[in-house]
Amino acid sequence: MNTIYIDMDGVVADFNRAAREYLNKRYADQARAEQQGRWPEHEWGKIRELPHFYRDLPKTHFADRIIELARGFRDKKGWQLYMLTAIPKNNDMPHCFHDKIDWMQEYYPDIRVHFGPYSHDKQHHCRPGDILVDDRESNTNEWRAAGGIAVRVLASEPERALAELEALLLKQ
């Protein structure tokens, strides 16, 4: 049985929009953070001052459509479905674990959360043929190298990822 894993930040939870609004930054700064997969260190320091930042994130506008497709793998194809999320690289947001689980309980309570725990550990969850939906390029590259199928989501063009995922679902 294969598994489809869905990333949280940048895929279903709108971390970058929330960060831009809180930090009072421009769209260009948000786009750069999306490309690079993280905000600059000094900005991160400000985000860290909000201990429940992860609990309060809004959903992305395409989150429900991603989840609906992922449930299709589970319900139509008999796959397992989990979220696969990461904690900050220095493990410096102690509420992060519980807040992410609480967030999922509120929005998608039928899906459990697996933690990398770090971003570069995500690849170790991969068995050949498993699917990862993630916005960070290093994660999708490492996932493919581990024998999985990865779909990269870019918040600027989510339609491409949705189409890719839909095509994959039809092929399984």
Return the exposure string of 17-51: e unless at least 16 CB atoms fall within 10 Å of the residue's CB, then b: bbbbeebebeeebbeebbeeebbeeebbeebeeee
| Alpha-carbon distance values, 149 to 14, 78, 131, 138, 168 (Å) | 23, 17, 5, 14, 9
Residue ranges in 6-35 that form contacts with Mg ion under rule CB under 5 A? 7, 9-10
Residue ranges in 123-142 that form contacts with Mg ion under rule CB under 5 A? 135
CB of 122 to Mg ion, least distance (A): 10
CB of 140 to Mg ion, least distance (A): 10
Measured from the CB atom, is 72 or 135 closer to Mg ion? 135
Q: Which residue is nearest to Mg ion (CB)?
A: 10
CB of 150 to Mg ion, least distance (A): 12
The residues that touch Mg ion, with contacts defined as CB under 5 A, are 7, 9-10, 135
